[in-house]
Structure 1
Amino acid sequence: MTTGRRERLRAETTTEIKDVALGLMATGGPDAITLRAIAREMGMTANAIYGYFPTRDDLVTTLIRDVYTALADAVDAAWDATSAEGPAVRIEAWATAFRAWAVTNPEGFRLVYGDPVPGYRAPEGGPAPDAALRVCTGFTALAAEAWPHAGHRYRDSAFDWPDFDPGLLAKVRPVFPGLPPAAVALALRIWGHLHGLVSLEVYGHLRTQTSSPEKLFHEELTQLLRGLDVRS
């Protein structure tokens, strides 16, 4: 077998392992991800799986890194595609891309934002520090885009820098050095608006409440934009 063919088969098997792991999570929750269960699903021996991922935590770290990076790529692409547009268009594009990715990749969303995989120990610095930074600064960019229009609404904000986690500030202040504490709080509030409805949809809680979760999301987004004074 040539090196090229061997590498291609290894890449295909690695992809299948990750797909099976996400499928197991979809049906059995985070604790269903085990190398032995994956081996059974694929008709492989456990020892063969270890040749691709030495431990279950190695696999989980790879899964989180892959799905988090895919999310960061999706929202970054939507943001970049609207670089010449006004704040309402840019915020709406980012938020819509966030929801679209989540409902298309529910297992990935749950892996990143849902219940942790029992017993999983992330590597130092986290499983996907680059992607986490990109998504975090993305939420903050929404607030930065709106701040020239909405800042007057937060003149009486009681927030100061000690009110935030130092790790969060280390991510956002170098990228947005001119934003005041109230704007960082606004970024978290925007995240709450968007993330809350998306989570309800991904976890199926809206299924018996409405047949139009997308319409609900966009109405919430429209009201958010009006509240930020970027849409009439």
Structure 2
Amino acid sequence: MDRATVSRRERLRAQTSQEIKAIALRFMAEGGPDAISLRAIAREMGMTAGAIYGYYPTRDDLITTLIVELYTSLVDAVEAARDTLPADDAAGRILAWAESFREWALANPQGFRLIYGDPVPGYRPPAGGAAAEAAHRACVGLTGLVAAAWTHAEAVQSDGDHRWSDFEPGLIDELRATYPDLPPAAVALALRVWGRMHGLVALETYGHLRSQTRNPAKLYRSELIDLIRSLALPPPRADR
């Protein structure tokens, strides 16, 4: 078999795999996460069940692949947005990360739901692997935004009574390996910052803001500016 034939087969296989994933997300949009079914996707594509199992042996394999690719895409996007700004522009980097997060969610609503929203009934994620690595990058990256702001934020935090026992051991191990000097209060702040970044995006992605505001982007930016002020940070360098 010549190299061109192999390359053509690989290309066709990649195209079919992409189509399977696209249909899975469409089924999820139409019927919720429980609608993802290999047999239903095979019928939609005119494939036999045996043929589709050659691409994804189980439904959970397909879901895991989707989560890995989507989560990695999200983290790549927010990290790239953050890194367009210098390390000493803590406010600007928070703003860039958050606005990129919203843009990605609106462009990938089913991906957002798969990562952060509706659990897929019966799905058991594998331990470790690429999905865990993407989650680790997101956690460490967002905590890094707070770590960079902590010298300002520490002085205005009124809830400094946090202890390491307030957090899950896995989270402690994950963060202390990267930020050994970060105190429990800063970890609590990182979780609260995540909540504020995530909250309006989740409402918008699920359609709950449609009858409430004509300009959700403006509302979200206002929330972020208020967040930055609450950390006692200088404004983003671009706004000075």
TM-score, normalised with respect to structure 2: 0.93
Q: Is the 8 A contact 1:61 1:127 kept in 2?
A: no
Flag structure 2 segments of 5+ consecutive residues without an equivalent. 236-240
Aligned length: 232
Describe the shift of the 1:126–1:14 C-alpha distance in structure 2 as closer, same or farther (beyond 3 A).
same
Report sequence identity in percent: 62
Which segments of 5 or more consecutive residues in structure 1 lack a partner in the other structure? Answer: none
Query: How far apart, CA to CA, are the structure 1 residues paired with 2:104 and 2:129?
Result: 22
Aligned 8 A contact 1:78 1:94 in 2: yes
Does the aligned pair in 1 maintain the 2:60–2:123 contact within 8 Å? Answer: yes
2:57 counterpart of 1:57 = no
What's the secondary structure of 2:83's corresponding residue?
helix
How many angstroms apart in 2 are the aligned matches of 1:125 and 1:141? 22
Runs (4+) off by over 3 Å: none
Cα distance in 2, alignment partners of residues 65 and 193 from structure 1: 24
- Do the aligned partners of residues 45 and 156 (structure 1) sit closer, same or farther apart at CA in structure 2, a change above 3 Å counting? closer
CA distance in 2, matches of 1:92, 1:106: 21
> What is the CA deviation profile of residues 53-110 of structure 1, one whole-angstrom value per residue up to 9, with x for unaligned ones?
0000000000000100001100111122113551111110111111111111000000
Residue 188 of structure 2 is matched in structure 1 by: 185
Contact 2:72 2:131 in 1 (8 A): yes
Which position in structure 2 is the counterpart of 1:228? 231
- Whether the 8 Å CA contact 2:95–2:224 is kept in 1: the answer is yes
Name the TM-score, length of structure 1 as normaliser.
Answer: 0.96
Deviation readout 1:147-187 (Å, 9 max, x if unpaired):
11110123651101010011111211111111100000000
Is 1:14–2:11 an aligned residue pair? no
1:26-45 matched pairs, under 5 angstroms? 26-45=29-48
After TM superposition, the structure 1 stretch with the greater mean CA deviation from structure 2, 151-160 or 87-96, is: 151-160
Partner residue of 2:98?
95
Bigger mean CA offset, 105-114 vs 82-91: 82-91
The question of 1:133 aligning with 2:136 is answered yes
Structure 1 residues 84 and 192, CA gap change in structure 2 (3 angstroms): closer
Question: Could you say which residue in structure 2 is the equivalent of 1:214?
Answer: 217
Tell me, yes or no, if the aligned pair for 1:62 and 1:127 is still in contact at 8 Å: no
Distance in 2 of aligned mates of 1:94 and 1:12: 31
Q: Equivalent residue of 1:81, what SS?
A: coil
My pick for the range that moved more, 37-46 or 194-203, is 37-46
Q: Distance in 2 between matches of 1:147 and 1:127?
A: 30
Task: Decide whether aligned partners of structure 1 residues 192 and 132 sit closer, same or farther in structure 2, where only a CA change above 3 A counts.
Answer: same
Instruction: Please tell me whether residue 48 in structure 1 is matched to residue 51 in structure 2.
Output: yes
